[in-house]
Amino acid sequence: MLAGATSCLASASDHFSFDEHARAVYRDLLQLDFERCDAALENVRINASGAGARNFAYLLLENERDFFRLFVYERNGEFERLKGNRDKRLKRLQHSELDAKWKQFLQAEIELQWALVHMKRDKPFRGIQLMLSAHRLIADGMERYPDFYPFRKSAGILTALLATIPPEYQWASRLAGLHGDVREGRVLLESFIEASAKSDSFLIEEALAARSFVSCYLENDPQTAYRYWIRAAGLGEPGPLFAWVQVKLALRAGWNDAARNALRALPARGFERLPLLHYLQGLAELQALDPSAERHFSLFFDRYPGQNHRAEAWQKRAWHAFLQGDLARFQWCMNQCRETGPGLIDEDKQAFLDASSGIQPDALLLRARLLSDGGYAERALQLLKGGPPAYSHDDIRLTEYHYRLARIYQQLSEPKLALENFQTAIASGSSSSHLVCNAALQSGILYESSGDKESARRHYEKVLSLDPDRYRNSLHQKARAGLSRLRSK
């Protein structure tokens, strides 16, 4: 166990102590209770303004507060208002008398958090610059202080992320001699979690979330990730961030009812502090074909201050109206989606392109898609198993039919039927279709799970050779993560 995990050398005037008061502020952050958090940090600032010792745990908490504000809320103008805090905090660290290992860890943590903020805001070049800066600090810190376990958390997150850097920026990581590895990132996170649990639970919550997301999104094992989260943290104090993690994992795993139950159990204040949860509940109800979805989407628009997910939410409202037979409202919602614009994230870009195409969805395929996405595979199969005669002269619909059927068989653990339909979708569709690209990706995943590494590699590389009209970044990221997994096996 690491001596000094909560405090550094007692003789130093500046120190790091994740004491009970710091933990209380951190708990407020996890609850997104910024009013209490701001008041507590302001009291610390006033009390530390004299000649006494300074606890730099509060510098980390200040940066965490900015990170959560920018990463979760995405309010217009807030990034420009807060981004200068990075330089100010790094200067405070440089001029401090803090123990060297804590100083280096905090510098790395600040760089990493601002890297993630820049990546979220579609500023990849600056984000990767900050990632590389954080990596240098972390690698040097782990070599200098091998028993100082906090570096493992940051190293785990960064090692996993480096495996998914877009190709146009990989030259920077190669120039710096860096490489990413998804499995290695997960192992580092688990090492931190184990060491932290034995001592003082220092920032363990975010490590548990990071480990779950690495397994879910990068190792493509969402069901294991969801079970891990529930076992490790999901049964703790209910709060908006924990609910967000749990619901995202449940939706990704295809356990729609688990997501609905988690959201229905959350107190109203959780939705007030994280209005994005209204969107997730609307999505979960829509995937169950529940008419209440519209109410939750409406609350999302009324209360969410950010820009991300807005085009996507208009698209989902349009789908809801379409399935209710209200074609006028469907067209109005699609117009709102177009006026919102493509945004920064893949989901919004996809929704904008969908709305801009002017193509009306097929009701049967849309219902099957929603049910399949929600994990209701048997219900979806009942809709499609009659065959696609109506699509025999429509290549776009035929491609989607076989793709949807393949996904359903994939959920039902019928890999042979899934691969057959994925291959039919690839053969019948355009090379620019995101469904064709995803069919190649899912084929790679199926081959990987069966132990056929060569077929898996070939399909992941096919994904990277395609330029799909939608979801390009996320599809290519998942393919790169798949290749990274194959290299580590």
Same domain? For 76 and 204 the reply is yes
Same domain? For 297 and 330 the reply is no
Average pLDDT over every residue of 244-253: 96
Give the DSSP letter string of 68-104.
Answer: HIIIII--TTHHHHHTTHHHHHHHHHHTS---HHHHH
373-402 core/surface letters (b: 16 or more CB in 10 A; e: else): bbbbbebbbebbeeebeebeeeeebbbbbb
Task: Flag whether pLDDT at 356 surpasses 60.
Answer: yes
Final residue of a structural domain among 263, 290, 306: 306
The pLDDT tens digits for 383-420 are 998 777 777 788 889 999 999 999 999 999 999 999 99
Residue 7's pLDDT band, with cuts at 50, 70 and 90, is very low
Same domain? For 40 and 100 the reply is yes
The pLDDT tens digits for 68-95 are 999 888 787 899 999 999 999 999 999 9
Range of the domain at 35: 14-218
The reported pLDDT for the residue numbered 136 is 93
The pLDDT tens digits for 181-228 are 889 999 999 999 999 887 767 789 999 999 999 999 888 899 999 999
Residue 470's pLDDT band, with cuts at 50, 70 and 90, is confident
Residue 248 lies in a domain: yes
The reported pLDDT for the residue numbered 384 is 92
Same domain? For 301 and 159 the reply is no
Average pLDDT over every residue of 14-37: 91
- Nearest-5° Cα angle at 233, 232 to 239: 175
Q: What are the residues facing 55 on neighbouring strands? A: 15
Same domain? For 46 and 110 the reply is yes
The reported pLDDT for the residue numbered 172 is 59
Q: What is the pTM of this model?
A: 0.86
Q: How many structural domains does the chain have?
A: 3
**Separation between Cα atoms, residue 289 and residue 300, nearest integer Å:** 18
Pairing of strands 54-55, 14-15: parallel
**Separation between Cα atoms, residue 340 and residue 316, nearest integer Å:** 14
Average pLDDT over every residue of 347-361: 90
**Separation between Cα atoms, residue 130 and residue 223, nearest integer Å:** 32
Task: Flag whether pLDDT at 171 surpasses 80.
Answer: no
Q: Which of 255-264, 375-384, 402-411, 464-473 has the lowest mean pLDDT?
A: 464-473
Specify whether the CB–CB gap between 346 and 312 falls below 8 A.
no
Final residue of a structural domain among 361, 386, 406: 361
Residue labelled with tokens 């220092």: 202
- Report the share of the chain in percent with pLDDT over 90: 69
The reported pLDDT for the residue numbered 395 is 86
The reported pLDDT for the residue numbered 238 is 72
Residue 293's pLDDT band, with cuts at 50, 70 and 90, is very high
Tokens of 176: 């710096």
Task: Flag whether pLDDT at 140 surpasses 80.
Answer: yes
Tokens of 461: 């590389």
Phi and psi (nearest 5°) for 54?
A: -115, 130
CA atoms within 13 A on the CB side of 322: 22
Mean pLDDT comparison of 54-58, 198-202, 279-283, highest-scoring range: 279-283
The reported pLDDT for the residue numbered 235 is 61
Residue 38 lies in a domain: yes
Q: Which of 104-113, 156-165, 401-410 has the lowest mean pLDDT?
A: 156-165
Tokens of 323: 């399935």
Same domain? For 190 and 225 the reply is no
Residue 351 lies in a domain: yes
The reported pLDDT for the residue numbered 3 is 36
Same domain? For 63 and 33 the reply is yes
Residue 1's pLDDT band, with cuts at 50, 70 and 90, is very low
- Specify the DSSP class assigned to residue 56: T
How many residues would you count in the chain? 489
Same domain? For 299 and 321 the reply is no
Neighbours of 231 (CB within 10 A): 10
Residue labelled with tokens 């799970």: 449
Task: Flag whether pLDDT at 51 surpasses 70.
Answer: no
Q: Mean pLDDT in the chain?
A: 89
Specify whether the CB–CB gap between 141 and 105 falls below 8 A.
yes
The reported pLDDT for the residue numbered 438 is 97
Same domain? For 172 and 231 the reply is no
Residue 137 lies in a domain: yes
Residue 421 lies in a domain: no
Residue 66 lies in a domain: yes
Same domain? For 207 and 232 the reply is no
Residue 126 lies in a domain: yes
The reported pLDDT for the residue numbered 9 is 41
Cα 60 to chain centroid, rounded: 22
Give the DSSP letter string of 221-289.
Answer: -HHHHHHHHIIIIITSS--HHHHHHHHHHHHHHT-HHHHHHHHHHS-HHHHHH-THHHHHHHHHHHHTT
Q: Which of 163-167, 183-187, 350-354, 397-401 has the lowest mean pLDDT?
A: 163-167
Specify whether the CB–CB gap between 256 and 250 falls below 8 A.
yes
**Separation between Cα atoms, residue 163 and residue 180, nearest integer Å:** 4
Give the DSSP letter string of 338-351.
Answer: HHH---SSHHHHHH
Residue 22 lies in a domain: yes
Same domain? For 74 and 146 the reply is yes
The pLDDT tens digits for 471-482 are 888 899 899 989
Final residue of a structural domain among 218, 241, 257: 218
The reported pLDDT for the residue numbered 75 is 80
Specify whether the CB–CB gap between 313 and 333 falls below 8 A.
no
Neighbours of 265 (CB within 10 A): 10
Same domain? For 257 and 346 the reply is no
